[in-house]
Amino acid sequence: MLLPLAMLSLVLGILTGLVRLGWGISVSETAGQHGALMVGSFLGTVILLERAVVFKNRWTLLAPALNGLSLPAFVLGWPVAGLWLLIGGSIGMALLTYVFLIQYRYNYYYVLFGGSICLVIGNGLALKTGFFPFAVPWWIAFLLLTIVAERLELSRFLPVKPGQGLLLWGAIGVFLVGVLKPFHGSGQGLTGVGMMAVAVWLLRFDMAVKSLRKAGQPRYSGTMLLLGYGWLLLSGLLFALPLGFSFIYDAGLHTFFAGFVFSMIFAHAPIILPGILGRQGVFFHPILYVGSIGQLFGLLIRTLGDWQGDSVCRMAGGLIQGIAIGIFLICMVVIVVRFHKKPTT
């Protein structure tokens, strides 16, 4: 029940994004909730589900349930109730990650816990101010720290030297200083520098490059990861440099959320979905490249439209992104169904 709610949040988030680009789609009064739908109702619910199922206790599903129920609240025109539900879900995420932290004390759980705190702060600012741009840097921090923590967890057996690890902590520190400062002032540049430094570290020390040497799902995931790190580098660059073109803020946001974050979703979906659904194995087929690469191609067109101030290009790129994500979701559903029907030996 919760995963379908998250997927519906994604669909509505895509539709509201198309409305904001200028497409005449009727989505009631939810167009203004685009950021909350994508970061909270969709991404927050999926990440919470991924963490909650590890506990194998039904009460831990309360946090993703609160997050998921924000969708009907937004659809019914109750944005305040929706944000309160997201705050409840994010507090639940902080509690779950704190349990991991006190049990295991691994460095990546400190990063994961920090990300969950950033989500609580971001949702709280969205509720208090009613102005999502105040929440955006904290939402970025939540996703960046969560993804970095998951990559550190998956790459924990790689021979990373202490000095190399300190470089990552320094990059995260610069990034967080930027988030703490007024983002739409001096903080934006520092945030961008930190994002670029994290991207360079991941490109150098993450296991993604090694995955390219293998066939099938490892190569697919490695390709998506490296593309994602490239988008993170570009997003940081757009935030750090005063380039001054008309839609630079839009380009910076979407190269992060649609470029970096969605590349991570594409890379991890074949591995994470079995755990969420209580299955064994990996859900992969080469057809997944179609939706994954298609979405990034659409983002490239949209970013070029941002740079040129071309509304037609921006609208076309956004539409390609939405269609490609839909193709990816349909392919994943087919793969899951075929996997379920596959006879065991």
Q: What is the 3-state secondary structure (H, E, C) of 205-224?
A: HCCHHHHCCCCCHHHHHHHH
Reported as a single tens digit per residue, the pLDDT across 117-141 is 999 999 999 999 988 989 999 999 9
pLDDT at position 244 over 90: no
**Closest by CA position to 139, among listed 36, 282, 217:** 36
Instruction: Give me the pLDDT at residue 342, please.
Output: 55
pLDDT at position 57 over 60: yes
- In the structure encoding, which two tokens stand for residue 157, read together? 């057996």
| Number of residues in the chain | 345
Structural contact between residues 183 and 136, judged by C-beta atoms closer than 8 angstroms: yes
Reported as a single tens digit per residue, the pLDDT across 64-89 is 999 999 999 999 989 999 999 999 99
pLDDT at position 197 over 90: yes
For residue 237, name the pLDDT band (cuts at 50, 70, 90): very high
| Interatomic CA distance for residues 302 and 183, integer angstroms | 24
pLDDT at position 256 over 50: yes
Structure-model confidence comparison of residues 342 and 58, the more confident one = 58
Q: Tokens 């932290």 label which residue?
A: 101
Structural contact between residues 31 and 16, judged by C-beta atoms closer than 8 angstroms: yes
* 57 three-class SS: coil
Structural contact between residues 176 and 141, judged by C-beta atoms closer than 8 angstroms: yes
Reported as a single tens digit per residue, the pLDDT across 84-130 is 999 999 999 999 999 989 988 888 899 999 999 999 999 999 999 98
Instruction: Give me the pLDDT at residue 232, please.
Output: 97
Instruction: Give me the pLDDT at residue 319, please.
Output: 96
pLDDT at position 345 over 60: no
Mean pLDDT of 11-38: 85
Mean pLDDT of 7-36: 85
3-class SS shares of the chain: helix, strand, coil, % to 5 = 85, 0, 15
Structural contact between residues 295 and 258, judged by C-beta atoms closer than 8 angstroms: yes
Mean pLDDT of 13-18: 92
| Interatomic CA distance for residues 230 and 197, integer angstroms | 12
- In the structure encoding, which two tokens stand for residue 113, read together? 């816990």
Structural contact between residues 194 and 236, judged by C-beta atoms closer than 8 angstroms: yes
